[in-house]
Amino acid sequence: AQSVTQLGSHVSVSEGALVLLRCNYSSSVPPYLFWYVQYPNQGLQLLLKYTSAATLVKGINGFEAEFKKSETSFHLTKPSAHMSDAAEYFCAVSDKDKIIFGKGTRLHILP
């Protein structure tokens, strides 16, 4: 079965600093990977997805993620954090009949 592991349930960065949220996947076949963001009191919104077309995937709000097969990773980055980026982020993998989510990383932005 496929799975994803997110390293760090809470991450704090200063406004303007690099954001790095880590995700490792486990899959026996080429995976379809996603990053979702959840703002307070809202549903999940797709940030970006990897479907094997390109290893570097650009998403909304300045986020991007790089698929590294050798490291089984799909880390999410943003060069410069903004206060509005404070939210919970979920890495996910598509596994036939469902999307399997990691446990989430809450991103805190320090002024």
Partner 1 sequence: EAQVTQNPRYLITVTGKKLTVTCSQNMNHEYMSWYRQDPGLGLRQIYYSMNVEVTDKGDVPEGYKVSRKEKRNFPLILESPSPNQTSLYFCASRPDRGVTEAFFGQGTRLTVV
Give dist(CA 88, CA 104) in Å, integer: 6
Which CB, 43 or 111, lies closer to partner 1?
Answer: 43
Tell which positions 40-59 bind partner 1, by CB under 8 A. Answer: 41-46, 49, 51
> What is the rounded end-to-end Cα distance, in angstroms, of the chain?
41
- Compose the 62-101 pattern: x for residues touching partner 1 by CB under 8 A, - for all others: ----------------------------x---x-xxxx-x
Where along the sequence are the contacts to partner 1 (CB under 8 A)?
9, 32, 34, 36, 41-46, 49, 51, 90, 94, 96-99, 101-104
